[in-house]
Amino acid sequence: MNKKTAFTALLIAALLAIPAEAQIGNIVKKVKSAVSSETKSSPKENSDPVSGTKTVPSANPSAGDADFIFVGENGLEGTALSELRACSENNRNAKTTLGPRFKQWIDEISPTAQLKMYEMGRCELMGFHVIDNPSHKYRKPEDLAERNPGRSAYEVSGDALVLIKEFSAPALYVVVVPEVAKAGLALSDLNLCVNPEKKDHYRRITKSASNCHDLKQMLYVFEQYKQYPGDLQTNSALFNEKDYTALNKQGKFKGLKVYTLVGKALEPLK
């Protein structure tokens, strides 16, 4: 008898020596283990008590996120998410549930970069996690108003935006030299002097925008005009309501033209 034949004979003898009950018990254990593994990996089923039909629930791909709010320009309600780019706070849940439905989802950026990218036109919306928690920065939509005057807050419903609230904008005044003033004057006609933090926004909608770090520099624009009338490199300046009111009482704008800024439109001050 060769070695292979001898080994086979020994193996058969060993198997025959195991009681049948033990072999059956091992088989039953393996079957139960396989069934248990399959059950754990399968989605939970719901049974219809009437028809007996079983259904597997699935996540709603169009569900919004009640704790995530977007801010952008007015009038975006009803706009499809697929047409919009969002600059978002870093939030894994929003990125997973909402991100894929947008034209572009940009996150992992600082609040400063988020606002700058929005004002540069890199995105149409800014996303914020808003939750009623004492330790959270934004607890309700109104908490976003100070950072976003003149814009609107939206939430997602289905695959479109729904308006939550419009944030009122403070009154702004544009003072221009007389040579520039005309019927139908627009921001695109102006070489505007603004605060540095507003420059990126206004340079996209004016002829040009330059930095004026304080009121002294803004008033210098008009002092130069009065000394050297003509086509100046900077011919206008933007003031908030408080500064405009105080300076106007001092007669600083005598002989100049004043407009109120409503959205992106200039309206002559009566």
DSSP class of 223: H
The residue among 122 and 7 whose pLDDT is bigger is 122
Label the pairing between strands 46-47 and 68-72: unpaired
Query: Distance between CA atoms of 80 and 60, rounded to whole angstroms?
Result: 17
Q: Tokens 């393996």 correspond to what residue?
A: 30
Residues 6+ apart with CB under 8 A from 126: 70, 71, 72, 86, 87, 88, 114, 115, 118, 148
Q: Confidence class of residue 6 from pLDDT cuts 50, 70 and 90? A: low
Read off the pLDDT of each residue in 232-247 and give the average, rounded to a whole number.
Answer: 92
pLDDT value of position 70: 97
Using a 10 angstrom Cβ sphere, with 0-12 exposed, 13-18 middle and 19 or more buried, the burial of residue 147 is middle
* The predicted structure's pLDDT at residue 83: 96
Amino acid at 4: K
Reported as a pLDDT band with limits 50, 70 and 90, residue 86 is very high
Q: Which one has a higher pLDDT value, 49 or 92?
A: 92
Q: CATH 3.40.190.10: which residues of the chain?
A: 68-166, 172-268
First to last CA, the chain: 119
Q: How far from the centroid of its chain's Cα atoms is residue 227's Cα?
A: 47
- Pairing type for strands 236-240 and 172-176 reads antiparallel
Q: Above 90 in pLDDT, residue 3?
A: no
CA–CA gap between residue 148 and residue 138 (Å, rounded): 13
Stated as kind and residue range, the H or E segment containing 96 is: helix 92-97
| Residue found by looking up tokens 């940009």 in the block | 106
Res. 49: pLDDT tops 70: no
Q: What is the mean pLDDT of the chain?
A: 80
pTM, 2 dp = 0.52
Give the distance, in angstroms, between the CA of residue 52 and the centroid of all CA atoms in the same chain.
45
Percentage of residues in the chain having pLDDT higher than 90: 51
Predicted confidence at residue 35, as pLDDT, reads: 42
Which is nearest to 201 in space by CA: 233, 166, 238? Answer: 238
For residue 10, report the phi and psi dihedrals to the nearest 5 degrees.
Answer: -65, -40
Fold of domain 68-166? D-Maltodextrin-Binding Protein; domain 2 (3.40.190)
**pLDDT tens sequence across 92-105:** 889 999 999 999 99
Average pLDDT for residues 225-245, to the nearest whole number?
A: 87
Q: What is the pLDDT of residue 136?
A: 83
Torsion angles phi and psi, residue 226, rounded to 5: -65, -30
The domain 172-268 having CATH identifier 3.40.50.1860: the answer here is no
